[in-house]
Amino acid sequence: MKKITYLSAVMAALLLTGCDDDNTEVVEVEKAVVTTDTKTQVVEVEKTVVVTDTVTEIKTVEVPVVVEVPAGGANNMQVGTRPDFLVQDMDEGELKDKLAQCANGPFYKTDFSIGHRGAPMQFPEHTKESYLAAAKMGAGILECDVTFTKDKELVCRHSQCDLHTTTNILETDLAEKCSIPFVPADPENGVVAQAKCCTSDITLAEFKTLEGKMDAANSMGTTVAEYMNGTSKWRTDLYASRGTLMTHAESIDLFKALGVKMTPELKSPSVTMPFDGFSQQDYAQKMIDEYKAAGVEPKHVWAQSFNRDDINYWIAQNPAFGAQAVYLDDRYDAQNAANEQGVTAQQLVNNPELLVPTMAELAADGVKIIAPPMWVLVTEENGEMVPSAYARAAREAGLGIITWTLERSGHLTEGGGWYYQSVNGAHRGDGMINNDGDTFKLLDVLAKDVGVMGVFSDWPATTTYYASCMGMPASI
């Protein structure tokens, strides 16, 4: 965007007319120039200048403006065929008609589209390949779930102890270092296989020798090969031939190179803290320090955690980053599990005043953004999908909302399971989810009625398609 000052041109014109009236007023009107081409363009921009002198009036000045547009514009986004497939599968109506008109784009990068672990519907999660795919699909923000190795180095993994399902560790010599080495299943007696391999079992150097695979396991596998071969039918191993694992610092460098923003999640440790002198606060601080060391602006980072103590620590000790820290809200689940008030998780969502702390108390503590799962934000009412009481309470408290996770439920013909439980008839009313196109129906309610800031997706092309079609702001 260029700002152009025309004061000198106006002054020259006034001098030529000999005008020195004290009532003369020069008003600058700025006009933004936006282009999605990756090449330099010359754009004609009109600028109106009003002069309140009775002798001289200058109305319009036309000036060629050279606008430098960086690589990564709209024409670099590729959403592929899946969004169109989902549109064609939708029920007839205005939303389908609107989305169908956008089949040929243009598509552009938006912060509404958040790559959940990259693009793990088809690429091994938290790998370079998965991140590259998500960025190509227009995700304006990418996620690295952060945990640590035996030598306390930060790496991208969804869980500290998921290496047995997300990497090839069981078929390497490092398998003997796992917390629980592979134990084959006993199908005849209904005994499932066992394995538990943690990043804290191995050093960073050892971690970097591993390869990522699709997150899955065959619990009835009697061999390592059988156990590792468990990818769901609706996903694929087609792009799992190589999965480059990444440290947290490497993810920062990659995201900077891709021109995307960052949302790291500090994962709950599976080991007792402090770990070899490494405390929870050391852990939370080290994650932020790696952004500082890389020169990343705080406004480009949304640090997340389910642990409210982490959020409070960032707000108090790293206020620039804490200003948009994201509280991954599981109060409904934690209180239900503890049976503190004898109510179900769904009842807590429908009666958010029972949540502890309340929405207002979270806001008073400095929390500005919360992130519950999608089902918590919507409900069925008189045959319509509408914002839940939880969603309304959050907005009334002035909290921003991000949600998770779209495109993680497989085929929606059977209702979509856990992520759709509040609108598929599992709790109340009629089921409203019965085809894959209903992905867009839920997304539309989340965007327009709930007013979420962004949506995590396992296939960011879908959220990019929607955001571009609806004219949401481009990622800057």
pLDDT of residue 429: 80
Please write the tens of the pLDDT for every residue from 410-444.
Answer: 999 999 999 999 999 998 888 999 999 999 999 99
- HEC string of the chain? CCCCCCHHHHHHHHHHHCCCCCCCCCECCCCCCCCCCCCCEEEEEEEECECCCCCCCCCEEEEEEEECCCCCCHHHCCCCCHHHHHHHCCCCCHHHHHHHCCCCCCCCCEEEEEECCCCCCCCCCCEHHHHHHHHHCCEEEECCEEEECCCCCEEECCCCCCHHHHECHHHCHHHHHCCEEEECCEHHHCECCEEECCHHHCCHHHHCCCEECCCCCCCCCCCHHHHHCCCCCCCCCCCCCCCEECEHHHHHHHHHHHCCEECCEECCCCCCCCECCECHHHHHHHHHHHHHHCCCCHHHECCEECCHHHHHHHHHHCHHHHCCCEECCCHHHHHHHHCCCCCCHHHHHHCHHHCCCCHHHHHHCCCCEECCEHHHHEEEECCEEEECHHHHHHHHCCCEEEEEEECCCCCCCCCCHHHHCCCCCCCCCCCCCCCCCHHHHHHHHHHHHHCCCEEEECCCHHHHHHHHHCCCCCCC
pLDDT of residue 39: 36
pLDDT of residue 340: 57
pLDDT of residue 31: 40
pLDDT of residue 341: 58
pLDDT of residue 191: 98
pLDDT of residue 17: 38
pLDDT of residue 22: 41
What is the mean pLDDT of each successive set of 10 residues along the chain, which is 476 residues long? 37 36 40 39 39 45 39 67 98 98 96 98 98 98 98 98 98 98 97 98 98 98 98 96 97 98 98 98 98 98 98 98 98 82 87 96 98 98 96 98 98 96 90 97 98 98 98 94
Please write the tens of the pLDDT for every residue from 119-177.
Answer: 999 999 999 999 999 999 999 999 999 999 999 999 999 999 999 999 999 999 999 99
